[in-house]
Structure 1
Amino acid sequence: MASSMYNNGISIAVSDDESDELAGRIRARVRRKRKKHGVRGKTEFTRRVIQLLLRWWPVLLCLLAVGLLLFEASRIGGNSSPQVRNSDHLPRKKSVDTVVEGKPPGNLNRLDPVTRARGGVRERCLDLLPPEELEKLDFPIGDAHTKPVKSIVYKSDADEHSAEGNLTLQQFSDSTRFNLFTGSQSFEQREESFKVSETAVVNCGFYSEAGGFKISDEDKQYMQSCKSVVSTCAFGGGDNLYQPIGMSESSLKKVCYVAFWDNITLATQQAEGRTVGDDNYIGKWRIILVKDLPFSDQRLNGKIPKMLPHRLFPNARYSIWVDSKSQFRRDPLGVFEALLWRSNSVLAISEHGARSSVYDEAKAVVKKNKATPEEVAVQMIQYHKDGLPEDKRFNGKKALSEASIIVREHNPSTNLFMCLWFNEVVRFTSRDQLSFPYVLWRFKVLKNINMFPVCTRKDLVNSIGHVRKAKPLTN
């Protein structure tokens, strides 16, 4: 017999067999209790984890999203020229001689379309024809846009220099802006040039063979052969040359691509490994080397190919101007069809994205140090005296343009419009946004203008930005 203490010290008499049996039961019970305790521990841990997840799941989700964005950004950064195709299913063209040192700009060579929401539906900003129709496009037969101006006589007589003294105090006093290239347009001649007649007489550059902007005879012959042109320029070495992309094979045979350079740009590009071939080409661009630029202001020199393509390409019917800080990425014939022919327009230019009033733009130009307060004041005082209203729309069009892309038909009316605009830029400031509304307001006969929205401009080009500061004229 043996005795065992159990349950608060109560003594129970048991036999040896019963003692062994009882001890076994106790050990089994202890094992069962320990097992249940272990399960409870795991259950408690799981419960706490679930509570924490339920409490902090928004934070965890945000951290996961940030991680995915960082991963995607690093992936894109490692492949800055992704293989993409736009909604027109045009193949991505390989760039030729774009950036030699370092990585190319992230948006270079992109062909993806730009879209916008309209009526709850996303649509493409530039509605181009399908690729198979682009290949069949050709220029319209005939020219219906000749009225009210039928012809232009460009002034070139040397006696005009004596008229410089006729400028009033309300005119920009830097007489060097009027030279042998432009002709010295007097204030009275400026007023006469805005009067519309079948035969217009106007100063419009190329005043004299001694007036600067010299190009070779070989280049002149090439330019005379162009029936349509996409042009750009880089004077002072400020920008690189970006190859056009997105064009059809048909457009390549019908459209000239011309880039105007000076000696500074040529030397800058050669120093970075971009050389002009023996055929005067770099990729798709025909390089036209200009000597004896007429203005000390390089921005003003850049206005010559920008505003006077009808003087540089006398036989061209259509032209597209693209600022050198951008890469043109659409089919030229398709752009003519979408922005001119479809809407029966003769001039297409992008609206200003930030402002609508020329007077507001004048304040912004001064604030950003893009022109001196004095020269801007002279221009705005003259425009106010002439009666230019503060209206934000003229003839149903937004008054202020951005002007980095200009698509136009070359006819007497648009040619005269561009000459008037160029003369305002020469007379006042080189900020052409300030003079465009004035010319649009005064030259009321040119009404079929397509002022396309900013998103269309973004679809036309990949914006790169200026690479370096342009060097001043040294020749």
Structure 2
Amino acid sequence: MSKTRSSIVTYTCNAGHYDLPMNGAYQVKSASTFEDERLNARATKILSHLYFPDAEWTIWCDSNLKLLIEPEELLEFFDYPEVGVYGHFKRNSINDEIDACKASKKDLSRKLELHRDMPGRLALTFIVIRRNSPKVAAANNAWWAEVTTKSRRDQLSFPYTLGPLATYRDIPCKSIHAARRSFLSNHFFRVPHKQEFVEAVKIHGLIDGQSIADNELAKILNRMHEKQKLGIQGIEVPQVNGKLFQE
């Protein structure tokens, strides 16, 4: 079974300019409904059927994630699902995720506890594949209702909203990268957030002062990437066609 590129939309949203824009996924302008930029980004992520009503498939990618395979190959890997996600490989239950979120202060404890003992399998939602269908749209709406009335941590409500429709797959990776497979796999890699890059180039004396424009930072990082000197947790960032970051 094959799918034409025109029927698939791969997209992201960089609300609050939290990440340095990468080439590849379609950049959707974030909503401005909420003071919390994370919720503005979640609207775009979760309500795919409203943003792309004419697409047959949508593939959400976090704004610091770069696909290493074609969208069609990703659909094939998940066997053309209603919903496709990678299973969480560190934690097994929503309760485990609640405890981890509390420990790292990801949200208010009282909001996190609203998900306690809910059913379903945890997913890594930095990539979410969806077929544009009525039942997926209904599940998206249910997911959005949970995120806007309970915790904004969408991993907590995904298992019992979209989870029942989802095909879960393990992240394919080389054995040497197994411990870091959520950052580097056969399918994708994720880079640090923009502020981490800013701090890194300061330390190496590559900029003067305390701030740098996004396009200038992108130029520095693209040069480093071309020279194979850009890393993720000690691992070299894979080479890609063209420039990695938008200048």
TM-score between both structures, scaled by the size of structure 1: 0.37
Q: Pick the aligned partner of 2:63 from 302, 318, 324.
A: 324
Distance 2:172 2:192 in 1: 17
Letter in 1 for 2:148: V
Deviations 1:438-471 (A, max 9, x none): 3257xx5x3xx211113366222111021228xx
| 1:304 shift after superposition | 1.4
Task: Output aligned runs, 1:278-427, within 5 Å.
Answer: 290=30, 293-341=32-80, 345-377=81-113, 379-380=114-115, 383-384=116-117, 388-389=118-119, 394=120, 399-427=121-149
Question: Shift of the alpha carbon at 1:230?
Answer: 0.4
- Decide whether the 8 Å contact of 1:351 with 1:451 is kept in 2: yes
Corresponding position of 1:455: 172
Equivalent pairs, count: 185
Which amino acid is the alignment partner of residue 362 of structure 1? I
2:26 to 240, 250, 258: 258
AA of the residue aligned to 1:374? R
Residue 65 of structure 1 corresponds to none
CA distance in structure 2 between the partners assigned to 1:302 and 1:230 by the alignment: 15
Q: CA deviation at 1:340?
A: 3.0
| 1:137 CA drift (Å) | 3.8
Other-structure match for 1:243 = 23
Whether the 8 Å CA contact 2:83–2:162 is kept in 1: the answer is: no
Alpha-carbon distance in structure 1 between the residues aligned to 2:162 and 2:28: 27
Shift of 1:419: 1.3
TM-score by length of structure 2 reads 0.68
What is aligned with 1:177? none
Contact 2:57–2:130 under 8 Å retained in 1: yes
Distance 1:363 1:232 in 2: 28
Q: Distance in 2 between matches of 1:416 and 1:450?
A: 17
For residues 128-158 of structure 1, give each alpha carbon's deviation from its aligned partner in whole angstroms, at most 9, with x where no partner exists: xxxxxxxx9435xxxxxxxxxxxxxxxxxxx
* AA matched with 2:172: C
Given residue 86 of structure 2, which amino acid in structure 1 is its aligned partner? S
Deviation per CA, 1:320-358: give whole Å up to 9, x if none.
1100111122111222222133xxx21111111210110
2:223 paired residue number: none
Which structure has the bigger radius of gyration?
1
Consecutive unaligned residues of structure 1, counting only runs of 5 or more, are 1-135, 140-225, 245-256, 262-289, 470-475
Identity %: 26
Structure 2: gaps (5+ residues): 174-181, 197-247
Over the aligned positions, Cα root-mean-square deviation in angstroms equals 2.2
CA distance in 1, matches of 2:193, 2:3: 34
CA distance in 2, matches of 1:407, 1:429: 22
For residues 383-411 of structure 1, give each alpha carbon's deviation from its aligned partner in whole angstroms, at most 9, with x where no partner exists: 54xxx35xxxx5xxxx1011000112111
CA distance in 1, matches of 2:157, 2:68: 28
Q: 1:94-148: CA deviations, max 9, x gaps?
A: xxxxxxxxxxxxxxxxxxxxxxxxxxxxxxxxxxxxxxxxxx9435xxxxxxxxx
Pick from 186, 191, 208 the counterpart of residue 464 of structure 1: 191
| Partner residue, 2:160 | 438
- State whether residues 236 and 298 of structure 1, in contact with CA within 8 Å, keep that contact through their aligned partners in structure 2: yes
SS class of match (2:74): helix
Distance 1:375 1:138, change over 3 A: closer
Output the CA distance in 2 between the equivalents of 1:439 and 1:309. Answer: 14
Do residues 231 (structure 1) and 96 (structure 2) align?
no
Q: Secondary structure at the match of 2:10?
A: strand
Amino acid paired to 1:329: L
Give the equivalent residue in structure 2 for 1:286.
Answer: none
1:459 aligned counterpart, secondary structure: coil
| Counterpart AA for 1:138 | K
